[in-house]
Amino acid sequence: AETRTVASPPEDEAQRALLLTAARCHGVGTAADLADYFRIRPAEAHPRLEELVADGRLSRCTVEGWSVPAYRHPGVVIPKQVEGRALLSPFDPVVWFRPRAERLFGFRYRVEIYVPAGKREFGYYVLPFLLGDRLVARVDLKADRAGDRLLARGVFVESGEDREEVAGELSSELDRLASFLDLNEVVVGRRGNLAKTLRAVRA
* Choice between 60 and 145, CB closer to DNA: 145
Rg (CA), the chain: 21
Burial level of 30, CB count in 10 A (0-12/13-18/19+)? buried
Q: How far is the CB of 84 from DNA (least distance, A)?
A: 22
* Choice between 14 and 143, CB closer to DNA: 143
* DSSP at 171: H
* Choice between 57 and 149, CB closer to DNA: 149
- Helix pair angle (195-202, 163-180), 10° resolution: 70
In the sheet that 134-144 helps form, which strands lie side by side, from edge to edge?
85-87, 126-131, 134-144, 149-157, 185-191
Question: Residues 145-174 vs DNA: string with x where CB under 7 A?
Answer: x-----------------------------
Question: Residues 79-98 vs DNA: string with x where CB under 7 A?
Answer: -----------xx----x-x
Residue 142 sits in the site that holds DNA (CB under 7 A)? yes
The three-state secondary structure class of 106 is: coil
Q: How far is the CB of 145 from DNA (least distance, A)?
A: 6
Asked whether the beta carbons of 96 and 38 are under 8 A apart, the reply is: no
Residue 189 sits in the site that holds DNA (CB under 7 A)? no
Residue 108 sits in the site that holds DNA (CB under 7 A)? no
Residue 180 sits in the site that holds DNA (CB under 7 A)? no
Give, rounded to a whole angstrom, the gap between the first and last alpha carbons of the chain: 61
* Choice between 25 and 82, CB closer to DNA: 25
CA distance 181 to 169: 18
* Choice between 55 and 145, CB closer to DNA: 145
* Choice between 101 and 166, CB closer to DNA: 101
Question: Residues 33-72 vs DNA: string with x where CB under 7 A?
Answer: --------xxx-----------------------------
Contacts 24+ apart (CB under 8 A), 44-50: 44/15, 45/15, 45/19, 48/12, 48/15, 48/16, 48/19, 49/19
Contact footprint for DNA (CB under 7 A): 41-43, 90-91, 96, 98, 109-117, 119, 124-125, 142-143, 145
